[in-house]
Structure 1
Amino acid sequence: MMKTRQAIKLCSFQELPEMIGQVFSVGGEEITLFRLTDGTVRAIENKSPHPKGGILSEGLVSGHFVFCPMHDWKISLIDGKVQAPDEGQVKVYNIEVSDGDVKLVCEE
């Protein structure tokens, strides 16, 4: 069975500030986009896996990581994994940048 691929435009690349999370709601999910200093755009869910939560769009970005603003957990923007000694994972979304637009890529 063939997978269908859909790309949903979220914003233009130029609208994304560097190193500051921008929140988008897609299909009832809150997704945070981060434009990194190397020009890549990463997308993760906007909720820390910490039991008490935390809004990741408000976190400090360093390299390819975001730090939970409430508990200082270091979370990879590449694979969503929380770095040791803490444990957990956030959902990571596929993003493509084409024709100056940032798009969320969904495959079903």
Structure 2
Amino acid sequence: MSNDFIAIGHIDDIPQRGARCVNTGFGRIAVFRTAADEVFAIDDRCPHKGGPLSEGLVHGQAVTCPLHNMVISLESGAALGADEGAVQTYPVRVEDGRLSIALSALPMAAE
């Protein structure tokens, strides 16, 4: 794998059980920090009604959409429970508190 990660900030920029967004040419990516300081990146649009997942409640390794309570796995991007649908996930690296995201996972990088 090539060294194609780009810097997106510091882990301290994101509150525990919170998120911040990275704007890209194709949409927003929500970067989440769990209570255990794990970091995940997924599309910021719920597959149900397009709700802003970055404004949802983080619990464990999941986020609940603020619009209709759909629960999304931060690890896999899949809707949990009886719900259907999924969001794209993106590899995130944490090194000495610095966050970076894989460029190869971004759709525009594949063009």
TM-score by length of 2: 0.87
Name the residue aligned to 2:37. Answer: 39
Please give the residue correspondences for 1:79-94 in structure 2 after superposition, counting only pairs within 5 Å.
79-94=76-91
Instruction: Tell me whether 4-13 or 71-80 shows the greater mean CA deviation.
Output: 4-13
Q: CA deviation at 1:6?
A: 0.7
Count residues with an aligned counterpart. 105
Name the residue aligned to 2:75. Answer: 78
Which sections of structure 1, spanning at least 5 residues, go unmatched?
A: none
Is the partner of 2:30 in helix, strand or coil? strand
Distance 2:63 2:4 in 1: 27
Deviations 1:26-53 (A, max 9, x none): 3333100111111110111000000x22
For 1:62, give the aligned amino acid.
Answer: H
TM-score by length of 1: 0.89
Percent sequence identity is: 35
Is the partner of 2:91 in helix, strand or coil? strand
For 1:32, give the aligned amino acid.
Answer: A
Name the residue aligned to 2:107. Answer: none
**Between structures 1 and 2, the one with greater helix share:** 2
**Between structures 1 and 2, the one with greater strand share:** 1
Structural RMSD (CA): 1.4
For 2:22, give the aligned amino acid.
Answer: F
Distance 2:70 2:81 in 1: 9
Name the residue aligned to 1:17. Answer: 15
Distance 1:7 1:27 in 2: 16
Which consecutive segments of 4 or more residues in structure 1 shift more than 2 A? 26-29
Query: Larger relative CO (CA 8 A, sep 6+): 1 or 2?
Result: 1
Which sections of structure 2, spanning at least 5 residues, go unmatched?
A: 105-109
For 2:63, give the aligned amino acid.
Answer: V
Contact 1:10–1:104 at 8 Å: present in 2 too? yes
